């Protein structure tokens, strides 16, 4: 019985879309692509600039912290008096841990991670920047 209904309803025709609709859709998608490229260029470009500035600041802060805490002096001992290191390695290790500028190190690693993330995204979206540049 349903076959008759299939035959009957199979006569329903698809409605022809207006001419140019497909092109309009492709055009709108390209416009959307350009808009997204613009947003990505601004976002990742901005984060790239900010992260490189942050990395520089964190590196300076880390170097100053090393100087202030004396970590550098203890660290340099490793490469100077080998005999003394063997005798006092426990004391030296403790001094190194105590003077390690943890905050400066974390700030530096965080800033580097942020920079790597930004650089990766800039690289990944390099085609988008191309279309963004062409669009402007």
Q: CB 17 → another protein: shortest distance, Å?
A: 4
List of residues contacting another protein (CB under 8 A): 1-2, 4-18, 21-22, 24-26, 28-30, 32-33
Residue 64 in tokens: 């100053």
CB 25 within 8 A of CB 122: no
CB 108 within 8 A of CB 62: yes
Comparison of 21 and 97: residue with beta carbon closer to another protein = 21
Distance of alpha carbon 95 from alpha carbon 18, whole angstroms: 79
Comparison of 28 and 73: residue with beta carbon closer to another protein = 28
Q: CB 134 → another protein: shortest distance, Å?
A: 14
Q: CB 93 → another protein: shortest distance, Å?
A: 50
Element (H, E) at 15: none
């Amino acid at each position: 019985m349903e076959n008759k209904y299939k035959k009957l309803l199979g006569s329903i025709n698809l409605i022809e879309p207006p001419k140019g609709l497909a092109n309009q859709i492709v055009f709108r998608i390209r416009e959307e692509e350009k808009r997204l490229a613009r947003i990505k260029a601004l976002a990742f470009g901005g984060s790239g600039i900010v992260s490189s500035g942050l990395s520089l600041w964190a590196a300076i802060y880390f170097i100053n912290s090393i100087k202030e805490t004396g970590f550098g002096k203890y660290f340099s001992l490793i490469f100077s008096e080998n005999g003394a290191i063997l005798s006092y390695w426990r004391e030296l290790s403790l001094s190194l841990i105590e003077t390690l500028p943890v905050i400066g190190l974390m700030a530096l690693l965080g800033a580097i991670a942020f920079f790597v993330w930004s650089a990766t995204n800039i690289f990944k979206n390099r085609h988008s920047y191309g279309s963004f540049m062409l669009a402007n």
